[in-house]
Amino acid sequence: MSAVIGVIADTHKLLRPEALAILHGVDTIVHAGDVGAPSVLTELAAIAPVHAIAGNIDRDPWANSLPETLDLTIEGIRIHVVHDLRTARPERIAHSDVVIAGHSHKPLVERRDETLVFNPGSAGPRRFKLPIAVGRLYLDAGAPRAEVIEIPVPAKR
């Protein structure tokens, strides 16, 4: 068995058509917070089932149903989702195969011992000179793998 998970974060109400195109064909989508508007989750759900958490900007009543963190098991892989990696409890990281985070707007793919830590970066408005990006998480034979896919967006002048 195998699965491809689309990973998106920090949309801040902006769901770019390029991000939707990258997510097309995934088995499920994880949104790591700072969704910004319920319409973002509705549009993502038209592509695949969505698992989402609240980020620090998700404070309006529509977001009350979003958890602060989420633990999933997909294809036998234990995934912990947290908005700000700095708030993740060390034991949650240690007992997960993959930790997905957002918040920093900085893409990150790194191994911490046996755990893959993955931040797809921000898919929403550009922050400073950081890239606009979406991620894919591959669960197949072997260890989970993550890919950051940058979206070319002209810089504002």
Question: What are the tens digits of pLDDT across the range 95-124?
Answer: 999 999 999 999 999 999 899 999 999 999
CA distance 48 to 17: 15
- The whole-number pLDDT of residue 126 equals 87
Containing structural domain, residue 94 = 3-150
Q: Are 146 and 137 in contact (CB under 8 A)?
A: yes
Evaluate whether residue 115 is within a structural domain.
yes
In the numeric block, the tokens 């011992």 are attached to 113
Evaluate whether residue 55 is within a structural domain.
yes
Evaluate whether residue 98 is within a structural domain.
yes
* Residue 127's pLDDT band (cuts 50, 70, 90): confident
Is the pLDDT confidence value at 155 over 70?
no
- For residue 76, what is the domain's CATH number? 3.60.21.10
The three state secondary structure string of 63-129 is: HHHCCCEEEEEECCEEEEEEEEHHHCCHHHHHCCCEEEEECCCCCEEEEECCEEEEECCECCCCCCC
* Residue 157's pLDDT band (cuts 50, 70, 90): very low
**Number of domains, the chain:** 1
Evaluate whether residue 35 is within a structural domain.
yes
CA distance 147 to 134: 9
Evaluate whether residue 79 is within a structural domain.
yes
Does an H or E element contain 22, and which? helix 17-23
Is the pLDDT confidence value at 31 over 70?
yes
pLDDT one-digit tens code per residue, 132-150: 999 999 998 889 999 999 9
Evaluate whether residue 156 is within a structural domain.
no
pTM for the full predicted model:
0.95
Evaluate whether residue 109 is within a structural domain.
yes
Q: Are 32 and 120 in contact (CB under 8 A)?
A: yes
Evaluate whether residue 157 is within a structural domain.
no
